[in-house]
Amino acid sequence: MRKNILFKRWVDEWLDKKKLYIKESTFFLYNMNIRKHLIGYFGDYYIDEITNEMLQSYMMESIKNGISLSTLKNILTLLKSILKSAIDKDLINDKNFKINFPANKKIKHLATLSIAEQKKLMRALLEKLNYKTLGIIVCLNTGIRIGELCALQWKDINLKTKMISITKTIQRISCNGASKLIISTPKTKTSMREIPISSWLCKLLKRFYNKDSSIYLISNKSKPMEPRTYRRCFYKFLNDNKIENIKIHTLRHTFATTCIIYGSEYKIVSTLLGHSDINTTLNLYVHPQVDDKRKCIENITVILK
């Protein structure tokens, strides 16, 4: 067994094997992170020279260079997977690779639209209703991601049962100067889901219904519109209608927040969003206000009296 193999050689072998049983989009992401972040630092080390201390040093240097903690965690998870495969092949001795991450003290505030802002947006959308603006309405009323929306075909929309099936997503992936549009299953199993649609939205969709089930909803063609193109359409619509510039993902945040404000169960909201863990929903969207906390305390006092 080869004991002295360079890291950059081993990752090529690792990628070749991984390519056989992971999604194409996942392969491109792995390859990009390896070439962009890992090869420059670890590439010329022999695989058995890499230590936990080196991983810790890489992590600290990366933070100083401005890489976000969430991105860094994904990169290091990938690195540990590569090293674990080397351990399994007896290329290096079994090591307990463990990284101590600094505490993330930043509180993440998600931008959302108020009810008044949502109504203003809806009025503008309905005044200029077409396939593209219909997509924005679908986002605001279902919380689906832009890639899922772009991949939506009429065969995924059942107007009789009033359900939308999310079975695929679209993304453009880039690596080594080349890019490719990929249609694949969503990133997690829970992202494959069915979302009920309201009677109102169902009636709206019926106005645009196409008997050809292969037609994509927002492009109204047999070829999908890719997310970056749709983003440009979204920003143009906001600008043309003098609506404050927001990211299209804000519609998803707004949907989730509105559901929770109006009393929807957290588990239901989590399922609608396609989160793999209810804790993701809780951490992102559930932030009790002072009045809610005070009511909770008062309830306990009543019980204990």
Closest CA to 55 of 72, 68, 67: 72
pLDDT confidence bin for 292, thresholds 50/70/90: low
pLDDT of residue 175: 63
pLDDT confidence bin for 11, thresholds 50/70/90: very high
The contacts of residue 213 (CB under 8 Å, 6+ apart) are: 153, 154, 155
Over the stretch 218-229, which tens digit does the pLDDT of each residue have? 999 999 999 999
Average pLDDT over every residue of 97-116: 75
Q: Residue 119 above 90 pLDDT?
A: yes
pLDDT of residue 79: 92
Over the stretch 176-212, which tens digit does the pLDDT of each residue have? 667 788 898 887 888 999 999 999 999 999 999 999 9
Residue 205, CA distances (Å) to 23, 133, 164, 226 in order: 32, 12, 11, 21
**Full set of structural domains in the chain with CATH:** 7-88 (1.10.150.130), 115-285 (1.10.443.10)
Average pLDDT over every residue of 112-134: 95
- Mean pLDDT of all residues in the chain? 88
Which residue is associated with the tokens 């593209």? 132
